[in-house]
Amino acid sequence: MSYVIQKKSKIELNRLYEEDKSIHDWYRFVLSYPPHLIRSCINKFNLSPQATVLDPFCGTGTTLVEAKKLGYKSIGVEANPVVHMCASAKINWDLNIYKIKKISQHIAIVAIEEIEKNKNILNYPNEHILKLIIKDSMNFDLINQVLILLSIIEKYGDNYCDFYKTALAKHIVFSFSNLKFGPEVGVSKKKKENVNIVKTWLEQVMLMCDDLILHIKNKNISSSVILGDSRNQLSFIKNNSIDAVITSPPYPNEKDYSRATRLESVLLGFIKNKENLRDVKHNFLRSNTRNIYKGDDDFTWIEDNIDVRELADAIEKKRIELGKTSGFEKLYYKVVLLYFGGMAKHLYELRPKLKNGAQLAYVVGDQASYFRIPIKTSKLLKNIAENLGYRVVGCDVFRTRLSTITKEKLNEDILFLEYVNGRQ
């Protein structure tokens, strides 16, 4: 059966529907898949009310939030600390709303006073901050105001610090910064200067409280997010406990998730220096030339996979043919080997966690970022999954986009798998 919402227009498919905004919209990637996709998969899987859903690359938590709204238990894994914090805040609904509001009002009063005191002092943000963030991504004065607000959140925020910081994370990116996403992160020509940081933050906190009230009946549905690497840190999940997986891992396309989240990671203190940044990136599935490291050996997981090896060979051959010699270009073929090897490792580690008959949906996109050679991600993944004993149930097109390089249509597919214990 074809994917139910496939026939809707492209805008409809990508859109976060107005009625879905509560909680999902607290902090979200521009291209996060929409909640209605999760609903569609859950319907298709016909899960029992006791089922547990896993998202091993949970990002900002779309799967987990939607599962919880629908009354299903869920677990997520996310390797990026700031994203992990926001996803965790998005699924923690058992909070004292009265206290959150009261404390936030106090924080706002103290922050306004403190910002006022510092008004006429020309402060440059710390050197370490400027070294790590994208140049011109935010006005210095606004950075200082955010840092003042953050220090007061940390001082008075009690048990609600992550909630308050999530409210701040959203507006650092979308209201205070000069960043634009298209979908790669860049700096807009129009620079923001006069933004009322504290007011914007407080309004966001109040909106988030309203969302919690809206979903109060599901506040005790269990949901958690593990900060870790889905290629090798699934040991926190009980064996034989997962009924369904709905996820969208990174694709091999040069997108650097650490760059897209750099500003909030640095300002909120998750990345303090180059070593921190490196440690964070080290836990990511290898999907771009900026996160490849000496000693990476995930390719060993697909050494006997002819299709992936032929693809990597074709990319390297093309590079030589075109006379391309930059360090990054020399790594293109390696990204492909490490990416599919990493996914194989992940699917291998996942098996013991799955219940017999578990159903899986992997949303992945085709790519052409490496010398225009097509990378049919879902087709290659299908092959890897089959070799690991998963049954391929189907593969539906979720959406298509135009490649900026080749101007050809690239599919984003949903690969449906089933895990039958003991199947070879």
Binding residues for ligand SAM, rule: CB under 6 A, are: 29, 32-33, 57, 59-60, 62, 77-80, 83, 229-231, 248-250, 257, 283-285
Shortest CB 94 distance to ligand SAM, Å: 22
Distance CA 43, CA 276 (A): 41
* Contact call for residues 339 and 252 (beta carbons, < 8 A): yes
Residue 271 CA to residue 128 CA, distance in Å, equals 10
Pick 77 or 197: Cβ nearer ligand SAM: 77
Closest CA to 301 of 344, 250, 249, 252: 344
Minimum Å distance from CB 322 to ligand SAM? 29
Q: Are strands 179-181 and 185-187 parallel, antiparallel or unpaired?
A: antiparallel
The identity of residue 221, as a single letter, is I
Tokens of 131: 């070294």
Cβ of residue 64: shortest distance to ligand SAM, in angstroms? 9
Using CA atoms, how far apart are residues 121 and 114, in angstroms rounded to an integer? Answer: 12
**Least gap, CB of 175 to ligand SAM (angstroms):** 19
Q: Give min distance, CB of 63 to ligand SAM, in A.
A: 6
Measured from the CB atom, the residue of 39 and 318 that comes closer to ligand SAM is: 39
Burial class, 250, CB count within 10 angstroms (exposed 0-12 / middle 13-18 / buried 19+):
buried
Which residue, 73 or 90, is less far from ligand SAM as judged by CB?
Answer: 90
Rounded Cα distance between 281 and 158, Å, is: 30
Beta carbon nearer to ligand SAM, 32 or 178: 32
Residues 330, 319: Cα–Cα separation, whole Å: 7
Q: Quick one: 193 or 297, whose CB is closer to ligand SAM?
A: 297
Nearer to ligand SAM, 64 or 112 (CB): 64
In the bound state, the residue with its beta carbon closest to ligand SAM is: 59
Rounded Cα distance, 58 and 77, in Å: 6
Helix (H, G, I), strand (E, B) or coil at 144: helix
Burial label for 391, CB within 10 Å (0-12, 13-18, 19+), is: middle
Nearer to ligand SAM, 116 or 297 (CB): 297
Least distance from ligand SAM to the Cβ atom of residue 315, Å: 21
Measuring CA to CA, which residue among 87, 40, 1, 24 is closest to residue 244?
Answer: 40
DSSP result, 169-180 = HHHIIIIIS-EE
Residues 6+ apart with CB under 8 A from 81: 227, 265, 270, 271, 280
Residue 151: CB minimum distance to ligand SAM, A: 27
Three-class secondary structure of residue 187 per DSSP: strand
Residue 204 C-beta: closest distance to ligand SAM, Å: 18
Quick one: 286 or 319, whose CB is closer to ligand SAM?
286
Q: Answer for the pair 386, 332: CB distance below 8 angstroms, yes or no.
A: no
Question: CB of 174: closest distance to ligand SAM in angstroms?
Answer: 15
Q: Which is nearer to ligand SAM, 67 or 77 (CB)?
A: 77
